[in-house]
């Protein structure tokens, strides 16, 4: 352990690890470089945005039987949001990274080798989502390809980083295994990207100690956590409610403007003056109790199929401090509870997918969907007009969804939830599906028109028939058959 006064402000700067190249002064944000016995100030780095993460510098855990301590963090911003990379030091002197994004965690360790000679021609621009990349006899699939900028840092770090540092990274997966190809530090002297391998993890499995408590998260200095912060939309003046630290991107329900709240003030990203409010069964701020855990709806998105404007659905983002995020999806077929998967299926094609040995058959052909409307807060940027390619699969009522954009591919698993269960969770008297709200009225109007027409034709026959009972029975049965499907939908 090495202690030194900050060359800028004089406060004590601590180097816990012998392999750390820099440390960020927590008082003045100066980046302190240690070079042999000399230390010097090489500029300032931005403060990290305190968020909902329970991880903090000094927290410790165990990964694959090896104890580690969190000693630093960099915060990276990409076009749609932020994520944390926590620098961890193992007791045996080695180091790695604990990625923290949207309540999902991955540990990656650097490989001594870089990309082999046969791959030296590989470029960042070539790798796209769902391309295959082979390493160590294992085939990985590209799931994420993006460029990000470092916007903040704290603690110790293994390399010089500051505001403007650009990270070009490709994330790949194979089952629950993780591979990162890092093109950030390509130079003529070092033409090959660096490799990091690891796996997705649960904090509980890491036996983490000294994590931040809910109270500490909610009362962190500089940001109010866990309370509904209120600010005015810079575009229209409407009040925006959000949970600071949980979400950085807000869509104003009044004017549709996209507002970034990750800095010291709210900034308009995009204005959507023609955004139309539609009927949502749930709304931002609605609270639910599910299996004894309290959840809040913090954002909602209406999606529509590009080639079929009548096919649309609503996705609700729910959040809990300890459990993170999950989705409720409202469709014309009913409600579904969806969770983003931490692992890829074993195999997939346009016709089927296999996950944990279960073969899911094709439910719907590939189709394009776009964001029609959004409101509330999100931990990434949601824009009206964003488009995705989707594939859906089914196995005994369970669904797999494959969503692909230009920069990433995401898999999620969903199970159906009854209207009655949704109503119970949210404490509402009644919950309906989109179909019963929007389609049934037109169908009911048409059914009554045919019923009147049917009675007009058959009434004279009833009055003149020798068997009035039979005539009334068959006329009533025909009218009932017209209305039965609609009544059944209403009951559901």
The pLDDT value given to residue 209: 93
Distance CA 154, CA 157 (A): 8
Distance CA 70, CA 60 (A): 6
**In this structure, what token pair is assigned to residue 104?**
């999902």
Find all residues with CB under 8 Å of 141, minimum gap 6, and list them.
130, 131, 132, 133, 172, 173, 174, 344, 409
Tell me: do 422 and 461 sit in the same domain: no
Tell me: do 295 and 414 sit in the same domain: yes
Q: What percent of the chain has pLDDT over 90?
A: 28
The pLDDT value given to residue 488: 46
Tell me: do 174 and 36 sit in the same domain: yes
Tell me: do 313 and 452 sit in the same domain: no
Report which DSSP code applies to 427. Answer: T
Residues in the chain: 492
Residue 279 lies in a domain: yes
Find all residues with CB under 8 Å of 104, minimum gap 6, and list them.
200, 324, 340, 342
Residue 214 lies in a domain: no
Residue 73 lies in a domain: yes
Burial 336-358 (b: 16+ CB within 10 A, else e): bbbebbbbbbeebeeeebbbeee
- Domain end position, chosen among 432, 450, 468: 432
Tokens 């989109």 — which residue?
Answer: 434
Pairing verdict, β 358-378 and 352-355: antiparallel
**Which position has the higher pLDDT, 236 or 269?**
236
Q: How confident is the model at residue 40 (pLDDT cuts 50, 70, 90)?
A: very low
What is the radius of gyration, based on Cα positions, of the chain? 28
The pLDDT value given to residue 439: 40
**In this structure, what token pair is assigned to residue 5?**
């006064």
Residue 212 lies in a domain: no
Position 489 pLDDT exceeds 50: no
**In this structure, what token pair is assigned to residue 248?**
């950085």
The pLDDT value given to residue 28: 65
Tell me: do 265 and 166 sit in the same domain: no
Position 234 pLDDT exceeds 60: no
**In this structure, what token pair is assigned to residue 389?**
């390619």
The pLDDT value given to residue 48: 65
Position 110 pLDDT exceeds 80: yes
Find all residues with CB under 8 Å of 5, minimum gap 6, and list them.
11, 12, 13
Position 98 pLDDT exceeds 60: yes
The pLDDT value given to residue 374: 78
User: Are 405 and 426 within 8 A, CB to CB?
Assistant: no
Q: Determine the distance from the C-alpha atom of residue 142 to the mean position of all C-alpha atoms in its chain, rounded to a whole number.
A: 18
Burial status of residue 422 (CB atoms within 10 A of its CB: 0-12, 13-18, 19 or more)? buried
Q: Which long-range contacts (CB under 8 A, 24 or more apart) does 393-397 make?
A: 393/348, 393/352, 393/353, 393/360, 393/361, 393/362, 393/363, 394/360, 394/361, 394/362, 394/363, 395/358, 395/359, 395/360, 395/361
Over residues 340-389, the pLDDT tens digits come to: 888 899 999 999 999 999 999 999 999 999 988 877 777 666 777 889 99
Tell me: do 407 and 455 sit in the same domain: no
Tell me: do 94 and 242 sit in the same domain: no
Distance CA 490, CA 441 (A): 10
Residue 218 lies in a domain: no
Number of Cβ within a 10 Å radius of residue 52: 25
Q: How confident is the model at residue 274 (pLDDT cuts 50, 70, 90)?
A: very low
Distance CA 148, CA 483 (A): 57
Tell me: do 419 and 444 sit in the same domain: no
Residue 476 lies in a domain: yes
The pLDDT value given to residue 371: 86
Report which DSSP code applies to 350. Answer: S
Residue 211 lies in a domain: no
pTM: 0.67
Q: How confident is the model at residue 270 (pLDDT cuts 50, 70, 90)?
A: very low
Tell me: do 42 and 172 sit in the same domain: yes
**Which position has the higher pLDDT, 191 or 258?**
191
- Helix (H) or strand (E) run with residue 245 in it: none
Over residues 64-92, the pLDDT tens digits come to: 999 999 998 888 877 666 788 999 999 99
Over residues 389-440, the pLDDT tens digits come to: 999 999 999 999 999 988 889 999 999 999 999 999 999 888 876 654 444 4
Report which DSSP code applies to 176. Answer: T
Quickly list DSSP for 314-342: EEEEEEETTTEEEEEEEETTEEEEEEE-S
The pLDDT value given to residue 200: 86
pLDDT, mean of residues 196-216: 87
pLDDT, mean of residues 176-193: 84
Position 127 pLDDT exceeds 50: yes
Tell me: do 381 and 448 sit in the same domain: no
User: Are 35 and 42 within 8 A, CB to CB?
Assistant: no
Q: How confident is the model at residue 186 (pLDDT cuts 50, 70, 90)?
A: confident
Tell me: do 410 and 459 sit in the same domain: no
Residue 216 lies in a domain: no
Helix-strand-coil split of the chain, %, nearest 5: 15, 45, 40
Please list the residues that pair with 416 across neighbouring strands. 336
- Domain end position, chosen among 406, 432, 458: 432
Tell me: do 404 and 462 sit in the same domain: no
Q: How confident is the model at residue 290 (pLDDT cuts 50, 70, 90)?
A: very high
- Domain end position, chosen among 206, 235, 250: 206
Position 144 pLDDT exceeds 50: yes
User: How many domains are there within the chain?
Assistant: 3
Q: Average per-residue pLDDT in the chain? A: 75
Write out the residue range of the structural domain in which residue 170 sits.
2-206
């Amino acid at each position: 352990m090495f202690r030194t006064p900050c060359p800028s402000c004089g406060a004590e700067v601590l180097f816990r690890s012998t392999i750390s190249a820099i440390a960020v002064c927590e008082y003045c944000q100066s980046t302190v470089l240690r070079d042999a016995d000399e230390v010097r100030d090489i500029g300032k780095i931005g403060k990290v945005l305190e968020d909902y993460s329970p991880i903090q510098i000094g927290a410790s855990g165990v990964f694959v039987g090896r104890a580690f301590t969190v000693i630093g963090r960099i915060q990276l911003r990409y076009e749609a949001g932020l994520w944390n990379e926590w620098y961890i030091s193992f007791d045996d002197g080695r180091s790695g990274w604990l990625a923290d994004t949207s309540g999902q965690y991955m540990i990656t360790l650097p490989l001594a080798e870089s990309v082999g000679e046969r791959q030296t021609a590989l470029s960042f621009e070539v790798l796209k989502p769902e391309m295959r990349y082979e390493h160590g006899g294992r085939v990985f699939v590209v799931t994420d390809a993006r460029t990000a900028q470092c916007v903040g840092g704290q603690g110790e770090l293994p390399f010089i980083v500051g505001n403007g540092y650009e990270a070009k990274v490709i994330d790949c997966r194979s089952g629950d295994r993780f591979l990162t190809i890092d093109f950030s530090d390509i130079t003529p002297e070092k033409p090959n990207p660096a490799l990091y391998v690891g796996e997705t993890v649960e904090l509980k499995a890491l036996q983490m100690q000294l994590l931040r408590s809910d109270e500490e998260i909610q009362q962190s200095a500089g940001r109010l956590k866990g309370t509904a912060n209120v600010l005015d939309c810079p575009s229209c003046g409407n009040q925006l409610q959000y949970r600071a630290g949980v979400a950085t991107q807000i869509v104003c329900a009044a004017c549709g403007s996209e507002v970034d709240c990750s800095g010291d003030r709210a900034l308009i990203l995009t204005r959507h003056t023609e955004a139309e409010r539609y009927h949502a069964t749930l709304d931002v701020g609605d609270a639910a109790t599910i299996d004894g855990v309290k959840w809040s709806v913090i954002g909602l998105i209406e999606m529509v199929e590009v080639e079929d404007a009548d096919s649309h659905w609503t996705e609700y983002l729910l959040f809990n401090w300890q459990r993170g995020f999950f989705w409720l999806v409202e469709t014309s077929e009913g409600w579904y509870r969806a969770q983003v998967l931490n692992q890829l299926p074993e195999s997939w094609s346009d016709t089927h997918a296999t996950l944990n040995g279960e073969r899911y058959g094709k439910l719907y052909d590939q189709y394009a969907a776009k964001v029609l409307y959004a409101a509330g807060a999100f931990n990434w940027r949601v824009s009206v007009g964003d488009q995705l390619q989707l594939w859906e699969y089914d196995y005994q009522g369970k669904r797999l969804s494959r969503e692909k954009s230009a920069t990433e591919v995401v898999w999620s698993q969903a199970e159906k939830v009854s209207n009655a269960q949704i109503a119970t969770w949210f404490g509402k008297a009644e919950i309906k599906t989109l179909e019963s709200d929007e389609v049934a009225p037109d169908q009911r109007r048409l059914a009554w028109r045919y019923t009147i027409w049917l009675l007009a034709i058959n009434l004279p026959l009833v009055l003149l028939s020798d068997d009035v009972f039979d005539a009334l029975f068959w006329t009533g049965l025909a009218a009932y058959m017209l209305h039965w499907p609609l009544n059944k939908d209403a009951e559901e």
